[in-house]
């Protein structure tokens, strides 16, 4: 006989110890999510958060999985959740309420008022409705979803300040604002500062790097990049760009999406909020930053294949 019983037992124990070690290493890898200072605030937030646009869209049967995905994300440290009254007409907020039930204190919860609701009274009422759907007493951050053509920014910002004073929101932010619009919003605030600007930012849309990113960094405004995977338009591994991402991913033993998220958060003022209704995707996204980093050569290669636009362009939104 090749092994006696004792040797076999020892071998089994060694294999078990080894697999536990590998498991622990993977877990550490997953939960070592990078956190950084959120703009001028004294908060440390995970670089990768979670979006919720269309989280409700796959119908009732898929909703438990979407909730499971959000809960897994929280377990893995992605405790910045982005939602909006617009998403599924409030349904996304209701799903988020279920996901954060029992762990509200651990979550940085963000919602947004629609520009059509952004009058003084309208903003106050919209916030109240969001709090009710989310089953919470206050939002950590409340954003104007995009600049309103109906209501002046002074009105909206006055309401935002009232919401802070009433303890219904902790921080004020905006979304889809260019530098000029940001200046106006800041100017309209009497007591508080803009904490964040949430803007479109993915490999094929890097326009914000020209003037918005430096302006926000200088003024302590955190940039949260949305639709990091191009809202379902991520480069295929057969495309030129996809091949570059795949090569880099292989070198680091990562996935193409992890490479993209790592690139999109390489600046110290950047955060990102990929949406994933699938728990495997959440797990994947949570490993995008932390104990590994793209090299300067990787960044240069991505820069060549997904270049900055040659000139300034108006801020885009989706
Ligand atoms: N402020 C604004 O105006 C604005 C505008 C757009 C978006 N946003 C926010 O930004 C969030 C993210 O943007 P987005 O929803 O437009 O799109 P996105 O995050 O660019 O892409 C989401 C898509 O990528 C898939 N996905 C996620 N992780 C993946 C992974 N690791 N591997 C493969 N597929 C993966 C998702 O699939 P599964 O769902 O099947 O996992 C989903 O189909 C939104 O949900 C929203 O909260 C804000």
Q: Is residue 277 within 6 Å of ligand 1 at its C-beta?
A: yes
pLDDT at 22: 61
pLDDT by residue (tens digit) across 75-122?
Answer: 999 999 999 999 999 999 999 999 999 999 999 999 999 999 999 999
- Mark whether 87 is an active-site residue: yes
Check residues 25 and 128 and name the one with the higher pLDDT. 128
Q: Where do the domains of the chain lie? A: 34-236+267-291
pTM, two decimal places: 0.91
pLDDT at 50: 98
Q: Is the pLDDT of residue 7 over 80?
A: no
Q: Whose CA is nearest to atom 21 of ligand 1?
A: 231
Which residues are CB-neighbours of 228 under 8 A, at least 6 positions away?
Answer: 201, 202, 260, 261, 264, 272, 273, 274
Return the ligand 1 atom nearest residue 143 CA. 1
pLDDT by residue (tens digit) across 142-153?
Answer: 999 999 999 999
- Cα of 230 vs centre of ligand 1, distance in Å, is 8
Q: Is residue 102 within 6 Å of ligand 1 at its C-beta?
A: no
- Pocket-testing residue among 30, 48, 51, ligand 1, by greatest number of atoms within 8 A of Cβ: 51
pLDDT by residue (tens digit) across 189-241?
Answer: 999 999 999 999 999 999 999 999 999 999 999 999 999 999 989 999 999 99
pLDDT at 32: 72
Q: Is the pLDDT of residue 127 over 70?
A: yes
**Dihedral-angle region of residue 269 (phi above 0 means left; psi in -120 to 50 means alpha; beta otherwise):** alpha
Q: Is residue 230 within 6 Å of ligand 1 at its C-beta?
A: yes
Q: How confident is the model at residue 59 (pLDDT cuts 50, 70, 90)?
A: confident
When mean pLDDT is compared across 127-141, 190-204, 301-315, the lowest value belongs to 301-315
Domain 34-236+267-291 sits in CATH at: 3.20.20.100
Residue 274 structure tokens: 């990929």
Residue (of 108, 91, 115) closest to 277 by Cα position: 91
pLDDT at 197: 98
Average model confidence (pLDDT) across the chain: 93
Q: Compute the C-alpha angle 171/123/145, nearest 5°.
A: 65
């Amino acid at each position: 006989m090749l092994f006696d019983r004792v040797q076999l037992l020892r071998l089994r124990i060694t294999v078990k110890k080894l697999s536990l070690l590998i498991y622990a290493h993977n877990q550490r890898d997953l939960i070592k999510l990078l956190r950084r200072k959120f703009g001028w605030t004294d908060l440390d937030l995970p670089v990768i958060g979670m979006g919720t646009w269309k989280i409700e869209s796959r119908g009732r049967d898929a909703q438990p999985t979407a909730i499971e995905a959000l809960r897994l994300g929280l377990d893995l440290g992605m405790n910045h959740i982005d939602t909006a009254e617009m998403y599924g007409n409030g349904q996304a907020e209701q799903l988020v309420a279920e996901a954060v039930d029992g762990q509200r204190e651990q979550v940085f919860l963000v919602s947004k008022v629609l520009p059509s609701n952004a009058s003084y009274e309208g903003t106050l009422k919209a916030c109240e409705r969001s709090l009710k759907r989310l089953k919470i007493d206050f939002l950590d951050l409340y954003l104007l979803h995009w600049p309103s053509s109906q209501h002046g920014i002074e009105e909206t910002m006055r309401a935002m300040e009232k919401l802070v004073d009433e303890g219904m929101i902790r921080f004020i932010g905006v979304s889809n604002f260019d530098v000029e619009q940001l200046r106006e919003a800041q100017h309209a605030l009497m007591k508080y500062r803009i904490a964040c600007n949430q803007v479109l930012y993915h490999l094929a849309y890097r326009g914000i790097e020209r003037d918005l990113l430096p302006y926000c960094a200088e003024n302590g405004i955190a940039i949260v990049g949305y639709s990091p995977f191009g809202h379902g338009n991520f480069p295929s591994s057969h495309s030129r760009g996809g091949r570059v991402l795949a090569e880099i991913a292989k070198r680091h033993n990562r996935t193409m999406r992890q490479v993209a998220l790592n690139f999109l958060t390489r600046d110290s003022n950047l955060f990102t909020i990929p949406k994933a209704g699938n728990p495997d995707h959440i797990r994947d996204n949570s490993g995008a930053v932390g104990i590994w980093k793209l090299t300067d050569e990787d960044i240069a290669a991505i820069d060549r294949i997904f270049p900055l636009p040659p000139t300034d362009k108006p801020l885009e939104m989706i």
